[in-house]
Amino acid sequence: AQSVTQLGSHVSVSEGALVLLRCNYSSSVPPYLFWYVQYPNQGLQLLLKYTSAATLVKGINGFEAEFKKSETSFHLTKPSAHMSDAAEYFCAVGSGGYNKLIFGAGTRLAVHP
Amino acid sequence: DAGVIQSPRHEVTEMGQEVTLRCKPISGHDYLFWYRQTMMRGLELLIYFNNNVPIDDSGMPEDRFSAKMPNASFSTLKIQPSEPRDSAVYFCASSSHSRSGDNYGYTFGSGTRLTVV
């Protein structure tokens, strides 16, 4: 069985500060891992994905995530937060050949001046 | 590519009425998913299809909900009769995977915000 845990339902940072959103997964098979972003009144948009290639994955809008098998983690980071990064972020886990994704509960990121 | 297209964007209906939500997936995608999002329960997978065939409908709340995919370019989610607790945002998503089994993730539509009064 697969599962995802996002630590912290709300994260608040100052503009220009480091963004760190935490995601831990559980999977009995090699996982595919994803981060999605949801802006208000919009659908979920793919930020980045890990599919067993490089462990450090770069996505859109300056975000990146590192797959750490030993820690079963896939934390999302951005060196310098921008006001436009305020949104809800979802981590998800899936597996090859099986397209169903399991989503975490989401983390709402607030960015203040 | 126009992406996943959902209609309507907003729907307000009275309790007891039938509601039909529509989705057009990305051309060439062989999986289609219906999700419901609420503040209390987050994202819930209702049902998904592979090559137009329903694979897992265990997330459908009750018999009032039904979903169909008559062809590769169209799917509907119907609620009959609707109840106030069905108020939520309903998302459709589609995806594909390679022959080697790579999982490419989903592309989501913009959602339908349903309000049942």
Q: Binning pLDDT at 50, 70 and 90, where does residue A94 land? A: confident
B16-25, B80-89, B93-102 — which is least confidently predicted? Answer: B93-102
Phi, psi of B4 (to 5 degrees): -80, 125
pLDDT of B99 strictly over 60: no
Three-class HEC string of B15-70 = CCCCEEEEEECCCCCCEEEEEEEECCCEEEEEEEEECCEEEECCCCCCCCEEEEEE
pLDDT of B101 strictly over 70: no
Check if the beta carbon of residue B66 is closer than 8 Å to that of residue B72: no
In this prediction, residue B8 carries a pLDDT of: 97
Q: Which helix (H) or strand (E) holds A58?
A: strand A56-58
Q: Structure tokens of B17? A: 């009425």
Q: Is residue A53 within 8 angstroms of chain B, CB to CB? A: no
**Mean pLDDT for the stretch of residues B31-57:** 92
Judging contacts by C-beta atoms under 8 Å, the chain B residues touching residue A34 are: 105
| Distances in whole angstroms, Cα of residue B24 to Cα of each of A39, B33, B57, B114 | 22, 11, 19, 18
pLDDT of B19 strictly over 90: yes
**Mean pLDDT for the stretch of residues A14-41:** 92
User: How far is Cα B90 from Cα B78, in angstroms, rounded to an integer?
Assistant: 11
| Residue (of A44, A48, A45, A41) closest to A62 by Cα position | A48
In this prediction, residue A6 carries a pLDDT of: 96
Helix (H, G, I), strand (E, B) or coil at B54: strand
pLDDT of B1 strictly over 70: no
Contact between B103 and A92 using a beta-carbon 8 Å cutoff: no
Note the pLDDT tens digit of each residue in A35-92: 999 998 889 999 998 887 788 999 999 999 999 999 999 999 999 999 999 999 999 9
Q: Is residue A101 within 8 angstroms of chain B, CB to CB? A: yes
Question: What residues are paired with A46 via a beta bridge?
Answer: A36
| Residue (of A79, A90, A108, A13) closest to B105 by Cα position | A90
The per-residue DSSP string of B62-108 comes to STTEEEEEEETTEEEEEESS--GGG-EEEEEEEE-B-TT--B---EE
User: How far is Cα A91 from Cα B1, in angstroms, rounded to an integer?
Assistant: 25
Q: Choose the mutation target among A99, A102, A103 for the interface with B, i.e. most B CBs under 10 Å.
A: A99
Q: How many CA atoms lie within 13 A of B81 on its CB side?
A: 7
Contact between A46 and B106 using a beta-carbon 8 Å cutoff: yes
Note the pLDDT tens digit of each residue in B54-95: 999 999 988 999 999 999 999 999 999 999 999 999 999 998
Q: Is residue B65 within 8 angstroms of chain A, CB to CB? A: no
